[in-house]
Amino acid sequence: MSTIAVAVSGGVDSLYALWHLRQQGHSVCALHGLFLPNQPAPECDPVPQLRLNCQKLGIDLHVLDLRHEFERLVISPFIAAYAAGHTPNPCALCNARIKFGLLLDAALGLGAEQLATGHYARLEQEAGRTRLAAAADSHKDQSYFLSLVPQERLAHALFPLARVHKDDARLAIAQAGLTVPLPKESQDVCFVPQEYRPFVEAGAAARGISLGGAGAALLPDGTYIGEHKGLWRYTEGQRKGMGFAWKEPLFVQHKEREGNVLRLVPRAALGMLGCRTQKANYFVPPALLPHKVLARLRYRQALMPATLSLLPQGGFALSLLPPQFPSAVGQIAALYDEQGRLLAGGIIEEITMCS
């Protein structure tokens, strides 16, 4: 019988994946990665309770120290992206580089043939290719965050929560008599303690990276609104927390690094016409992609119709009509078909806003 490795974080979802596969009679081992640079306080360390759960289920637990690699492959690019004026999506990078990168390599090295995780997503097989698709629980679907994982890596993936709803997973774990090590559900970036700005400032200083200073915040006609505190602190579409007083609410339209200018507009003038991505990750051959697709440009954003054009460097461009609420450079553009299956995913490198 082939072995399935299960990546366990300490949350209810990965614990459900572990329990469910064991209940089905699979040969299972558990993998827990140490990612964060500082060890958690004893009361927040999931490893002791994970060991107890694994002992109860008769499963071996392997703890892997990936802190150096996580710093290099996720945290440092996160800091660098902000310094470049972008709004990064570190979870998508973590899934591609760490969970289905180094952690999958470790699982295969232990003799496992598949790596299961607690992600809410589906996998389908079509003409010998592994297709990623949205989960049954649309409120928890995480296919967007997995859209950068290469197809050959997803061929080793297993998502036991593909058709499970969150409440059902919680109930199953409680009935099994297992204790969730980290019962509080994480809503933010796991390695940022609370507010991201102090973390970015400290990280940039430690790496000798300049974040840039204050500059002018202007309306499209050049009207001076005030002084921004550094372009890295703002993201396209932002309204709250900017500190500018005006006769109507203002939103970030654009960040001009050349000139260090923050452009602001009223909501009626805010709209995104399209975007371009870096070299993309394709789930079907690019030549077979339809001209009209459904796109998600931020997590939890509703799918929107878009027209697709392929770019010479391997990325793609999207045109949005009518204009949509903006995404940001550094976010992910994920393309879906009508059945909720992923077509492609890429990091946005340029956006086009309404004039």
Task: Evaluate the omega torsion of the peptide bond into residue 322 and state whether it is cis, within 30 degrees of 0.
Answer: yes
Annotated catalytic residue 190 = yes
User: What pLDDT, on a 0 to 100 scale, did the predictor assign at position 187?
Assistant: 59
Please check whether residue 242 is in contact with residue 230, taking contact to mean a CB–CB distance below 8 angstroms: no
Same domain for 139 and 108, yes or no, is: yes
Do 164 and 33 have their domain in common?
Answer: yes
The per-residue DSSP string of 200-255 comes to HHHHHHHHT------EEEE-TT--EEEEES-GGG--TT--TT-----SS-EEEEEE
pLDDT in tens for each of the 355 residues of the chain? 689 999 999 999 999 999 999 999 999 999 999 998 877 777 789 999 999 999 999 999 999 999 999 999 999 999 999 999 999 999 999 999 999 999 999 999 999 999 999 999 999 988 788 899 999 988 899 999 999 999 999 999 999 999 999 999 999 999 999 999 988 776 568 888 778 899 999 999 999 999 999 999 999 999 999 999 999 999 999 999 898 989 999 999 999 999 999 999 999 999 999 999 999 999 999 999 999 999 999 998 899 999 999 999 999 999 998 999 999 999 999 999 999 999 999 999 999 999 7
71 lies in the same domain as 156: yes
d(CA 249, CA 285): 44
Same domain, 38 and 171: yes
* CA separation for the pair 219, 278 (Å, rounded): 30
Catalytic residue among 91, 190, 275, 354: 190
**Do 250 and 279 reside in the same domain of the chain?**
no
Biggest CA pair distance of the chain: 70
- Catalytic residue at 94? yes
**Closest of 283, 338, 3 to residue 128, by C-alpha:** 283
Domain CATH for 223: 2.30.30.280
Tell me: do 50 and 125 sit in the same domain: yes
Q: Residue 10 belongs to a domain with what CATH number?
A: 3.40.50.620
Answer yes or no: do 7 and 53 share one domain: yes
Q: How far apart are CA 22 and CA 11, in angstroms?
A: 17
Selecting among 29, 54, 91, 94, the annotated active-site residue is: 94
pLDDT at residue 2, rounded to an integer: 81
Task: Indicate whether 71 and 12 sit together in one domain.
Answer: yes
pLDDT at 304: 94
What is the CATH number for 326?
2.40.30.10
The CB-based long-range contact list for 233-242 (8 Å cut-off, 24+ gap) reads 233/197, 234/262, 235/87, 235/328, 236/87, 236/272, 236/326, 236/327, 236/328, 236/329, 236/351, 236/353, 237/270, 237/325, 237/326, 237/327, 237/328, 239/267, 242/217
| Joined tokens for residue 13 | 């979802």
Q: What pLDDT is recorded for position 188?
A: 66
Cβ atoms of 143 and 131 closer than 8 Å: no
Number of domains the chain contains: 3
Question: What is the reported pLDDT for 126?
Answer: 83
Sequence length of the chain is: 355
SS3 content of the chain, % helix, strand, coil (to 5): 30, 30, 40
Q: Cα separation of 221 and 321, whole Å?
A: 25
In a domain, 292, yes or no: yes
Nearest to 14 by CA among 111, 116, 108: 116
CB 61 within 8 A of CB 52: no
How far is the C-alpha of 165 from the C-alpha of 135, rounded, in Å? 9
How far apart CA 150 and CA 97 sit, in angstroms, is 10
For residue 231, the enclosing domain spans 212-269
Q: Is 278 exposed, middle or buried (0-12, 13-18, 19+ CB in 10 A)?
A: middle
Q: How far out from the chain centre does Cα 95 lie?
A: 7
Q: Rounded to the nearest 5°, which phi and psi values hold at 95?
A: -60, -40
Residues 152 and 288 in one domain: no
Q: Which of 251, 269, 287 is the last residue of a domain?
A: 269
Provide the 3-class DSSP secondary structure of residue 354. coil
| Cβ neighbours for 236, distance < 8 A, ≥ 6 positions apart | 87, 252, 253, 254, 255, 272, 326, 327, 328, 329, 351, 353
